[in-house]
Amino acid sequence: MAGRRRALYSSEDLAPLINPGSIAVIGASDRPGSLGARAMANLADFRGRIFPVSQHLTEINGLPCYRSILDVPERVDCAVLAIPSQAIEVVVQDCADAGVGSCVIFASGYAEVGSEEGIAAQERLQSIALRGGMLLAGPNTAGLGNLGTGAHCGFAEFPHGYAQRNGTIALVSQSGAVGLGLSQAAMRGTSISHVLTSGNSVDVDVADYLNALADDPVVDGVALVFEGLDSAARLEQAAMAMARAGKPIAVTKLGSSPLGAAAACHHTASVTGSPDDWTALFRRCGMVEVQDMSRLVETAVFLAKFRAFRKAAAVPAVSILSSSGGLGILAADAADRHGVPTPQPGKTTVHRLQDILPPFGSPRNPCDATANATSNPESILRCTEALLTDDQFDALVLLWGKAWRSPCFEGISELATNHGKPVCLVWMSQWSDGPGSTDVEKLPYVSLFRSLDSCMSAIRAWGAPHSFDTGG
């Protein structure tokens, strides 16, 4: 594909798509559940100008409708095409003629079907866009959302979870459904700035998105999911731009199995390539590979929250703090599985801990503050400070035995900031979104994990990103 020979799009190039000031919805509708109605509803928070285009309506949500994009009185940045596939080609040409900056095409039935007609139709869309100097997202995409500006150009409902704080991540996914599922992390407190999906990626692909996000000041890191790319070199270049900006990428690569690769070809017409080649590329660029996608978002958030604390490549040593001996043992076992060192605290630290703990507590590593700590949050804070002060430890793993909102949360985040060391709170309760979980997600310098293995593999990757691959 000719488009692939071009350089990566910069954030400026992509602005009409990921940061538009004006959006036209072609096929705008008030019929509940229709693509056109969903695309309109998704712009409810958009602060820019909206131009509905409809053959049937004269007004929608108080906005005048236009019969064609050619009738819209200004050059719009982005046109969302919520129309049947038969009409797409003509409308894309209209958009090019109208000087539209970018088009988002939901329709499927193109190269992913594998038919000659589908491939030819997709190539025609590409040519029209290329000649008109217009960006294309899709076809076969769920669209994209800039959750900070409300420019949500898609039919899927991405939740609006963006908050201006440390640890904000952008989601970049070839698959729309995957992007949607991941974006629901916002419902449990994750700050998400963008959800960018690319579908068949005839023009804009995930590498372009990454490259543009490297420049975006609200983005601290990216969770990336993709099936395949024509050009690995372009991804490498974009990942390097992210690395130079000090922004981590956690990545799940789809299609590592023969059956998965075959399915990827059908899904977005992607050639998935050799898993080993991709893994090698990820390591070269300091990307953290996460096979089990259920761990991708928490890994990305952790890397994003603590990117400023990252040291020269080394394996970080952790101290473990819990209100239960059993939980501490589990954490020690998990650290061992993932090669994370757990040295014993120094003498001074032991003495400090002994002053805080009851006689049947343990001032060692793992540190058992006993069940008393749950009724005495101040003791958790004091133990946290003692352990963060000890030079032997690069990070603290704090185990949370049950769903519980503690008054010590803010204080722990402050201690982590002051000491420049990550604190990971591991949620050992099976009440996944129980009281306290959202509060912890929202802390700027505490990371929440729902599995010890997820936590320890992320810590390992944080220390030595070039030589580690988080396991399944």
Site for its own copies in 389-408 (CB under 8 A): 401-403
- Provide the minimum distance between the beta carbon of 344 and its own copies in the complex, in angstroms, as a whole number: 9
Check residue 377 for interaction with its own copies (CB under 8 A): no
Query: Both tokens of residue 130?
Result: 């290329």
Site for its own copies in 431-450 (CB under 8 A): 431-434, 450
Check residue 62 for interaction with its own copies (CB under 8 A): no
The amino acid occupying position 232 is A
- Exactly one of 386, 453, 459, 460 binds its own copies (CB under 8 A); that residue is 453
Check residue 429 for interaction with its own copies (CB under 8 A): yes
For its own copies, which stretch binds (CB under 8 A), given 214-222, 243-251, 348-356, 452-460?
452-460
Check residue 293 for interaction with its own copies (CB under 8 A): yes
Check residue 312 for interaction with its own copies (CB under 8 A): no
One-letter-per-residue 3-state SS of the chain = CHHHHCCCCCHHHHHHHHCCCEEEEECCCCCCCCHHHHHHHCCCCCCCEEEEECCCCCEECCEECECCHHHCCCCCCEEEECCCHHHHHHHHHHHHHCCCCEEEECCCCCHHHCCHHHHHHHHHHHHHHHHHCCEEECCCCCEEEECCCCEEEECCCCCCCCCCCCCCEEEEECCHHHHHHHHHHHHHCCCEEEEEECCCCCCCCHHHHHHHHCCCCCCCEEEEEECCCCCHHHHHHHHHHHHHCCCCEEEEECCCCHHHHHHHHHHHCCCCCCHHHHHHHHHHCCCEEECCHHHHHHHHHHHHHCHHHCCCCCCCCEEEEECCHHHHHHHHHHHHHCCCCCCCCCHHHHHHHHHHCCCCCECCCCEECCHHHHHCHHHHHHHHHHHHHCCCCCEEEEEECCCCCCCCHHHHHHHHHHHCCCEEEEECCCCCCCCCHHHHHHCCCEEEECCHHHHHHHHHHHHCHHHCCECC
- Exactly one of 324, 384, 406, 413 binds its own copies (CB under 8 A); that residue is 324
Do the beta carbons of residue 230 and residue 4 sit within 8 Å?
Answer: yes
- Exactly one of 94, 208, 216, 227 binds its own copies (CB under 8 A); that residue is 227
Check residue 289 for interaction with its own copies (CB under 8 A): no
Check residue 184 for interaction with its own copies (CB under 8 A): yes
State how far the alpha carbon of 182 is from the alpha carbons of 196, 294, 449, 452, in Å: 11, 9, 15, 20
**Comparison of 176 and 248: residue with beta carbon closer to its own copies:** 176
CB atoms within 10 A of CB 292: 15
Site for its own copies in 107-146 (CB under 8 A): 108-109, 112-113, 142
Check residue 371 for interaction with its own copies (CB under 8 A): yes
- Provide the minimum distance between the beta carbon of 287 and its own copies in the complex, in angstroms, as a whole number: 18
Do the beta carbons of residue 148 and residue 198 sit within 8 Å?
Answer: no
**Comparison of 71 and 89: residue with beta carbon closer to its own copies:** 89
Q: Which residue in 460, 213, 187 sits closest to 315, CA to CA?
A: 460
Site mask, its own copies, residues 250-269, x = CB under 8 A? Answer: --x-xxxxxxx--xx-xxx-
Torsion of CA 323, 461, 166, 205, to 10 degrees: -140
**Comparison of 12 and 277: residue with beta carbon closer to its own copies:** 277
- Provide the minimum distance between the beta carbon of 238 and its own copies in the complex, in angstroms, as a whole number: 20
For its own copies, which stretch binds (CB under 8 A), given 175-183, 206-214, 230-238, 411-419?
175-183
**Comparison of 293 and 315: residue with beta carbon closer to its own copies:** 293
Site for its own copies in 193-222 (CB under 8 A): none
**Comparison of 59 and 117: residue with beta carbon closer to its own copies:** 117
**Comparison of 19 and 319: residue with beta carbon closer to its own copies:** 319
Query: Both tokens of residue 310?
Result: 């990252």
For its own copies, which stretch binds (CB under 8 A), given 65-73, 87-95, 329-337, 348-356?
329-337
- Exactly one of 2, 5, 32, 33 binds its own copies (CB under 8 A); that residue is 33
For its own copies, which stretch binds (CB under 8 A), given 1-9, 14-22, 185-193, 277-285?
185-193
| Number of chain positions touching its own copies (CB under 8 A) | 85
Site for its own copies in 346-365 (CB under 8 A): 359-360, 362, 364-365
- Exactly one of 334, 408, 443, 446 binds its own copies (CB under 8 A); that residue is 334
- Provide the minimum distance between the beta carbon of 410 and its own copies in the complex, in angstroms, as a whole number: 23
- Look up tokens 């061992």; give the residue: 336
**Comparison of 126 and 141: residue with beta carbon closer to its own copies:** 141
Check residue 292 for interaction with its own copies (CB under 8 A): yes
**Comparison of 75 and 337: residue with beta carbon closer to its own copies:** 337
- Exactly one of 181, 346, 411, 444 binds its own copies (CB under 8 A); that residue is 181
